[in-house]
Amino acid sequence: MNKNFLSDDTEEKVILRIPKGLSENEIKSYIAENITSLYPAMDLIVDDHDDRANLDDVVIKEIHLSESDVDIEYDVEFSAYHGCKDQNYADSDQREINGDRTESELIFKKFIAPQKRTTFEEF
């Protein structure tokens, strides 16, 4: 299932180098241990749910490896405090990134946040 979405050399890439000689399970552990290296490729935006939301954690749920692809399913956990109502709010959102796999690297497109939409644009 080769997505080949990284064929355009003008796109910024996020690369995680994988040490040689690791088993599939060791590669998955290595990815989980070094997940912060992939943050630039991940959608970590949480304020679209709530303007006061803050990212609390990124939790890896599943890592799928094939010969030429990698898929990482993750949850972003976030919370917000609304002082005037004295309310805390916490939630999570499921997300996924897909990349290409070579013998020694995992290659992802750098995440580019979409522009925020406003009702002003509708008029």
Q: pLDDT averaged over consecutive 10-residue blocks of the chain (123 residues)? A: 46 93 96 96 85 89 96 94 80 94 95 76 59
- Tally of domains within the chain: 1
Domain carrying residue 61 = 13-112
- pLDDT of 18 reads 96
In a domain? residue 47? yes
Count CB atoms within 10 A of the CB of residue 98: 16
In a domain? residue 104? yes
The DSSP string of the chain is ----TT--TTS-EEEEE--TT--HHHHHHHHHHTGGGGGGGS----TTT-TT-EEEEEEEEEEEE-SSEEEEEEEEEEEEEETTTTEEEEEEEEEEEEEEE-SSEEEEEPP-PPPPP-GGGG-
In a domain? residue 56? yes
In a domain? residue 29? yes
In a domain? residue 3? no
In a domain? residue 2? no
In a domain? residue 34? yes
In a domain? residue 98? yes
- pLDDT of 51 reads 78
